[in-house]
Amino acid sequence: MELFSKLVFLFTSACIMPLINIVASANFSEIFVPIWAPDHILSQAGKVFLSLDNTTGCGFASKQKYLYGKVSAQMRLVPGDSAGTVAAFYLTSDGSNHDELDFEFLGNETGQPYLVQTNVFANGTGNREQRHSLWFDPTTDFHNYSFFWNHNYIIFQVDEVPIRVFENKEAKGIPYLKSQAMGIHGSLWNGEDWATKGGTVKTNWSHAPFVVTFGSFEVDACALSSEVDDPLVKCGKKGQFWWDKSASKKLDKKKKNQIKSVQNKYMVYDYCKDTARFTQMPKECQG
């Protein structure tokens, strides 16, 4: 695969609606590699299963890295008592000054809602958490979680509904994710020290193994074909790809209204409103 990669990685069963614009398909092992506890990762019957027990969690990463575009995953989260568990779908570059975009799904006791935590790291600095409740049960069926990323903004979407935007405000001295290509990752791990009600509810290992299921991946992004590729040369030219065309330069009114609605109804934590945590609010929160 060269500069422009538009691939759909299909691990779906017949009951899942197929993704549109299918250009190519591949087996999980052709695109991803286990990076942690491969014996806890199973690709079978058109799905990929990650398991967590009291010995270890597990994780995988893409073989290639990407700069700008859209990356999506269909996931079905751990059912039942999932307290203490964290299932993650995220993009990250390497090194201490890395860039990163996170979906982290925080398990809960049976009957209590999942929370989805999103975060943004730019040049090694994170601490930009938002948490939302979900308007559906994410354990009974597959739902689509995606990142849309261009020169102007990053959108986190759930079933194509935008729940968060991180805008490029470099003019105000705020670092933006613009030069570090990121790999696609998935993982399942034990976060009982913080994940459920601030760590007061611990993982109940009698319910292990905990399993999260990936149904499919869709990547429509600029791919780096080797470690020596320069991300800015390959992918950084403005207007080069569809995600930087004129229609994507600004959030349209519909998306703005959707984000506002989701935040009003489902947001349960916003770092920009945490005055106890920050003596001086981060620059991007200051208007």
Kindly report the backbone phi and psi dihedral angles of residue 30, in degrees, each rounded to the nearest multiple of 5, phi listed first.
Answer: -75, -30
104 catalytic per annotation: yes
227 catalytic per annotation: no
Of 2, 30, 100, 109, which residue is the catalytic one?
100
The C-alpha atoms of residue 164 and residue 263 are separated, in whole angstroms, by: 8
Cis? peptide before 113, omega within 30° of 0: no
Of 104, 192, 218, 284, which residue is the catalytic one?
104
Q: Can you say whether the dihedral through the CA atoms of 154, 7, 95, 276 is positive or negative? A: positive
* Side-chain-side CA neighbours of residue 212 (13 Å): 29
Active site residues: 100, 104
